[in-house]
Amino acid sequence: MIFTFLITGYICGSISFAYLFTYFLTGKDIRKIGTGNPGAANVSKSIGKKWGIIVWIADTIKGVFPMVLAKNYGIANIILLTLIGSSAIIGHCYSIFLKFKGGKGAATSGGVILYLMPKLFPLVIILWFAAQKINPRSPRVLILCLMTFFVFLGIFYRNNFLSLFFSTLILIIIGALVNKDVIQEIKRYKKEIKNGNLEKKNL
């Protein structure tokens, strides 16, 4: 049953709403316009913020749906549910319908957090936008966001802190594995800062 839900999550995640909305609205391939990334951000920049928001919501639901389905069939373990939600993230990033390519998985990861830790979902959105505005490549900004998240996790989910802590670690590991280019970009940015090629104000 768990394997079935992992596959279900992957297939759900593989449905690229960015590709579908862009194609039906413009007849274009989202992978060939804007940044080339089949995600909500590129849709927002390329065909309009309204459609970007719709795609973002749809991508978030992709993370929620397989977990809800699994819970309804009796899977209640938080770690197992996290793995099922993570399969949707992997599907988004390596879509079987897009020749195993896809987006960054941010919105779908948000869906997993929305289901497991709904009280922290608004905080995650705030931290995401704050990181984007300050500097999403800065290791210090990312670490500060994670520390803030874990502090509030302890406040709002004291009874399930350990399970949700490990769930968050799983999401972080999955995010790092499916976004190796982003990790490399952060390392390159840090190296340039160290060599004095960039200003340090956003480090």
What are the pLDDT digits (tens) for 77-98? Answer: 999 999 999 999 999 999 999 9
Average pLDDT, the chain: 89
User: Does residue 5 or residue 183 have the better pLDDT?
Assistant: 5
Span of 12-26, 34-48, 75-89, 181-195 with lowest mean pLDDT: 181-195
User: Model pTM?
Assistant: 0.87
Given pLDDT bands bounded at 50, 70 and 90, which one contains residue 141? confident
Where do the structural domains in the chain lie, given as residue ranges?
2-194
Q: Is 157 helix (H, G, I), strand (E, B) or coil?
A: coil
* pLDDT above 90: residue 48: yes
* pLDDT above 70: residue 164: yes
* pLDDT above 70: residue 203: no
* pLDDT above 70: residue 185: no
Question: Span 112-120, mean pLDDT?
Answer: 96
Model pLDDT for residues 121-135, shown as the tens digit of each residue: 999 999 988 988 887
Q: Residue 91's pLDDT is what?
A: 96
Q: Residue 94's pLDDT is what?
A: 95
DSSP-assigned letters across all residues of 80-147: HHHHHHHHHHHHHHTBGGGTSB----HHHHHHHHHHH-GGGHHHHHHHHHHHHHH-TT-HHHHHHHHH
CA angle 125, 191, 187 (to 5 degrees): 45
Q: Tell me the residue type at 185.
A: E
Q: With contact defined as beta carbons under 8 Å apart, do 137 and 185 qualify?
A: yes
Question: Span 35-50, mean pLDDT?
Answer: 92
Q: Residue 114's pLDDT is what?
A: 96
Q: Residue 193's pLDDT is what?
A: 57
* pLDDT above 50: residue 201: no
Positive or negative, the CA dihedral 9, 75, 172, 116 is positive
